[in-house]
Structure 1
Amino acid sequence: MAGLETTGPNPDVGLLYDINGLAATAPDWVDRVVTFAGEYGLVLALVLLTLWTWWRVRRTACDEEAAGAVAAVVWAPLAAGLALLVNIPIRGFVGRLGPAEQHRGIEQLVAARGDFSFVSDHATLAMALAVGLFIAHRWAGLAGIALAALLGFSRVYLGVHYPTDVIGGLALGTAVALLLSPLASALLTPLTKLVARSPKVGRLVWSPKGVQGGAATPEEGREGEWQEEEVRQESGAVGVGRRRDRDLAA
């Protein structure tokens, strides 16, 4: 295909010039900050947010709830990777060249990756990861969505994508993460439950020390019941011995 329309009175191109034009008037340090954020910083922030979400959900839910929540966290990066794979044929089918290749006066601050512009890989990855986190933890997901939006803005600012490239990436990431979430949960939750029962790696799924109310694992609960039963038996034996001593003394 020839790609999306890029000539004539096009709001997409107009918005591209408005956002990318900020790079021409901004101080050099602003360009450097946006370049780092758009290339690496915001993606790194999303990775750290994913790790925080995993740590959070495993400490604030009982074992059954944590297994499902951790499965959702695991799905987030898997959804991001799958969304990138889905984007490969889309980019080739649309065949849209980058802004700097079709328009004059574009301040391209970084080298474009790949042959085509639609859909943005960065926006696709970020939004799939953010929506996956939203399924596991609402506030972490909202923070991730905000980071994904900033990442999309930065890609237009850097002159490597049109606004519709970013919008398409955000939509694609959302669709993959949401539509395949039920299937991913059905496949991943039994796996996380299996891991939770392991005495060696079970803490990857949930942490009883962080559970509100001090809930214990099933194994720890049964152990506690046995200990309580032993204490009751010992207490009963001591009571019987004391009664015998009183009878003999009488």
Structure 2
Amino acid sequence: MTVYAPAATADAAMHLAAGDNIDVDVLQGINGLADDTTWAHGFMEFTGEYGLLAVLGLLLGIAWFRARRRPDHDVAVAGIVWAPIAAFLAELANIPLRSFVDRPRPFFVHSDIHVLVQGKDDPSFASDHALLTMSIAVALLLVDRQLGAIAVLVAVLQGFARLYVGVHYPTDVLGGFALGALVALALSPLALRALLPVVRRVEQTALRPLVVAGPAAS
């Protein structure tokens, strides 16, 4: 059921910069779709909160299955392992950023926003969902271009869903995308340098099938 947020307060409005009009217009345009698509509310709520993250998990599983069959399987598997670690580190980086920016959720400022997901009262910038999905997508793109491209599309859909359900501004989503991509790209060389020895060690144990498909060389 659609819930309408309370009227804006003067204090909350002070958090909006003068250049936020386009931000608000885009949000209202996408969130306004909820008026004519009440039949999709349940699907969008689930998708925006959990569904697309689950799709990324499935893509990581497929990528791991494919990576084990590559000549550079050790590098590829290390890259797959890096994806969830990158998401975790991006989430950690967002904690102080959120506190510093301290931007209120859009429904605290704009009374016409349709809020489809309840309980969101923490700061709005940057979007956790956006940074999690994009960090995983970019890390996966470094390993498997085909699946990575699909993952990037999933991340974009995640951002759209967060606007549809009324819990973020577009710049919250773009900020999350930027932070997630930055962490995944910038720390990837160091991460692979640290993860490769671990992956190669695992390959010499009974857990070898986690790293490479097929029997050990005789």
TM-score by length of 1: 0.79
**Paired residues of 1:38 and 1:154 also in contact (CA < 8 A):** yes
Higher helix residue share: 1
Taking every aligned residue pair, what percent have the same amino acid on both sides? 46
Unaligned runs of 5+ in 1: 209-215, 224-250
The 5-angstrom pairing of residues 1-250 of structure 1 reads 3-5=15-17, 10-26=21-37, 28-59=38-69, 61-62=70-71, 65-198=72-205, 200-208=206-214, 217=216, 220=217, 223=218
**Paired residues of 1:124 and 1:173 also in contact (CA < 8 A):** yes
Higher RCO (C-alpha 8 Å, min separation 6): 2
Unaligned runs of 5+ in 2: 1-13
**Paired residues of 1:3 and 1:94 also in contact (CA < 8 A):** no
Residue 31 of structure 1, CA deviation: 1.3
Residue 3 of structure 1, CA deviation: 4.3
Distance 1:35 1:205, change over 3 A: same
Partners in 1 of 2:121 and 2:92 — Cα distance? 14
Residue 80 of structure 1, CA deviation: 0.3
**Paired residues of 2:130 and 2:173 also in contact (CA < 8 A):** yes
Amino acid at match of 2:153: A
Partners in 1 of 2:120 and 2:20 — Cα distance? 27
Say what the alpha-carbon RMSD is for the aligned residues: 1.5
Residue 84 of structure 1, CA deviation: 0.4
Amino acid at match of 2:24: V
Partners in 1 of 2:33 and 2:87 — Cα distance? 30
Q: What SS does structure 1 have at the residue aligned with 2:114?
A: coil
2:10 counterpart residue number: none
TM-score by length of 2: 0.90
**Paired residues of 2:105 and 2:121 also in contact (CA < 8 A):** no
**Paired residues of 1:118 and 1:168 also in contact (CA < 8 A):** yes
Residue 29 of structure 1, CA deviation: 2.3
| Structure 1 consecutive aligned stretches of length 4 or more whose deviation exceeds 3 Å | none
**Paired residues of 1:66 and 1:206 also in contact (CA < 8 A):** yes
Partners in 2 of 1:81 and 1:146 — Cα distance? 20
Distance 1:52 1:4, change over 3 A: farther
* Greater CA drift, 111-120 or 101-110: 111-120
Partners in 1 of 2:20 and 2:184 — Cα distance? 34
**Paired residues of 1:34 and 1:154 also in contact (CA < 8 A):** yes
